[in-house]
Amino acid sequence: MSDQIPEIKVPFKASEPQFTPMDWKKFEIEALSPSVFGKLPWMVDMGQDETEAKRKLKVKEIQNKLSPDVPKLSDEFLEKVVVLSEELKCTPEDLLAIMYHESGGWDPSIVAKDKRGRVLYGGLIQMNNLSLKTVTNKYSKELKLKKNISMNEYLKLSREKQIDYAEGYFKLMKDSCNLDSKKHLTAGETWGMLKSPRQTKARNQRFLNSLTKHVENIKKKIFISTEGQNLNVKN
């Protein structure tokens, strides 16, 4: 008999895995990337839908209070006016009043001529050839404007098309008049960008207040007002 103790082999036993409880407070679900999967049916942009709904409601509100004595405006045109007012930070009512006065009743073909019969200004906001060229050069891609459009071509555009060019000019003037930092533009400041950029930039309050009063009088003509109703409604 051997005096050596035989070696006893113990079967291999793997170490038990350590379980770490999930910290649900830190758990985040990563959104699927639209660039890979595209916009899936359940990925609805609720913010965009809400904004669109508010705009359509505003359009309906404006339609309901337009005077029967003024030209009828399409929902498409009014929605573009509402969008432009949001960008400029003014009211759509102010914009409509200003364009009504400038164009003799929202007539996109109206012109102002010199004594020789040459067209000086034309359209919804009475732009001249230089303004039209500047706007199309700067915003042709962003606003999908026709570059090098002639004044005659511009004047043949519908309100719905021409207001895109007006948008470019307003944006150009707002920057030129140093109004970008303002949270809300008064009617005077909005119209002043067209009437006199120099005085608007200098913040000539007498000039701007006069324009504001003029806009208020125009709104009384183009909108049906009820007692106590404020037509200059902020969005």
Q: At residue 207, what are phi and psi to the nearest 5 degrees? A: -65, -45
Q: Tell whether the model's pLDDT for residue 159 goes beyond 70.
A: yes
Please state the domain extents for the chain: 49-57+71-222
pLDDT for the residue 138:
95
At residue 33, the pLDDT reads 44
Which 3 state secondary structure label does DSSP give 108? Answer: coil
In this prediction, residue 163 has a pLDDT band, given cuts at 50, 70 and 90, of: very high
63-98 pLDDT per residue, tens: 999 999 999 999 999 999 999 999 999 999 999 999
Tell me: pLDDT of 137 over 60.
Answer: yes
Region 136-144 average pLDDT: 95
Give the E-state strand segments of 97-158 in sequence order.
111-113, 119-122
Instruction: Please answer whether residues 150 and 108 qualify as being in contact, where contact means their C-beta atoms are separated by less than 8 angstroms.
Output: no
pLDDT at 48: 77
For the domain spanning 49-57+71-222, the CATH number is 1.10.530
